[in-house]
Amino acid sequence: MTGVLACQQIEGLIAEGAIGLQRDLTAGQVQPASLDLRLGTEAIRVRASFLAGAGRRVSDRLAEFEMHRVDLTAGAVLEKGCVYVVPLMEHLDLPRGLSAITNAKSSTGRLDLLTRTITDGGTEFDRVAEGYSGPLYAEICPRSFSVLARAGMRLNQIRFRHGQSVLSDSELAALHESDTLVSGGPAVIDQGLGFSVDLEPERGTLVGWRAKPHTGVIDLDRIGHYAPEEFWDRLDTDRGQLILDPDAFYILMSREAVHIPPSYAAEMAPYLAMVGEFRVHYAGFFDPGFGHAGAGGSGSRGVLEVRCHEAPFVLEHGQIVGRLVYERMEHVPDLVYGAGIASNYQGQGLKLSKHFRG
């Protein structure tokens, strides 16, 4: 069989020892199609981001780049603009034929907290080779805000798969015909399901938020605590367009409402770089049941984490900015997003991370 592993299969991998744990599972750590990864007790400040490279271990490369170490046991500030490597509490001994992919969790991406996974022998970020056996590390670089982090926090997640089960455009078109994968806009299918930016809200003029350059520290354990205006500038327009500033970080919203049927998972992929001087997507997993009517949703807008690059760029309402790549689940999960589990963003609109009020 091929496909993305469901929560009950992930629990089986833990029971078999293919996923090793330094500490017992935390409540809610196993998600419908992924496993949250937990920070270990130490963050190593490094001079630069790096990959281990073929045949090399991360621990050996750390000796080249290490500056100092930070104890996360009681909590410590990870400074904006600095790069840290944190050994994770999970390690892998994957069987043959099983690979994995990682990504930042939704709240991590919405804080512009660049979090990627590196492995021994790894030549790509966020990719775990088939049959990998060894430790996992998170590379963390706060881009907009300094954050207070603690051991055990869950900033990224891992998804396991047998083979490749990505839907072709014709298969995706057939699925949309039967399940209505997007509403609020046409289904643009080209190497995935395209989605566009919403700059003409139904009510009011608020279209997004831009991170302020000089703010206080965000404690990642404080939920619904911070006033948005202390960390973000409102973006209002009635013209259907927005000029992005170089190296600024934005939270915007998709025009389309997204539906992920329970027997599928999806990943957000950036649109082609040639269409504009910006990048969309930091947290890219969409769980089975996201926005799906049978899981307590009626379609959920995709929140867009946008960073502009070298030149100012005019973003127009309805402009295609990314695409969703759908994959089959190997089994339907016992739990799906929004049904029987705590799902922060089911039915979401334009929404900052869970750390902010409102």
Task: List the chain pLDDT tens, one digit each, 358 residues.
Answer: 899 999 999 999 999 999 999 999 999 999 999 999 999 999 999 999 999 999 999 999 999 999 999 999 999 999 999 999 999 999 999 999 999 999 999 899 999 999 999 999 999 999 999 999 999 999 999 999 999 999 999 999 999 999 989 999 999 999 999 988 988 778 899 889 988 899 999 899 999 999 999 999 999 999 999 999 999 999 999 999 999 999 999 999 999 888 899 999 999 876 555 556 677 765 578 899 888 765 444 578 888 899 888 889 999 999 988 889 999 999 999 988 765 544 544 445 788 999 999 8
Q: What's 293's DSSP letter? A: G
If you write DSSP's letter for every residue of 108-165 in order, what string do you get?
HHHTTEEEEEEETT-SSTTEE-TT-EEEEEEEEEESSS-EEE-TT-EEEEEEEEES--
3-162: CATH superfamily: Deoxyuridine triphosphatase (dUTPase) (2.70.40.10)
Residue 358, token pair as written in the block? 């409102």
Model pTM?
A: 0.93
Q: What's the fold here for domain 169-328?
A: Deoxyuridine 5'-Triphosphate Nucleotidohydrolase; Chain A (2.70.40)
* d(C-alpha 358, C-alpha 351), whole Å: 8
Positions of CATH 2.70.40.10 in the chain: 3-162, 169-328
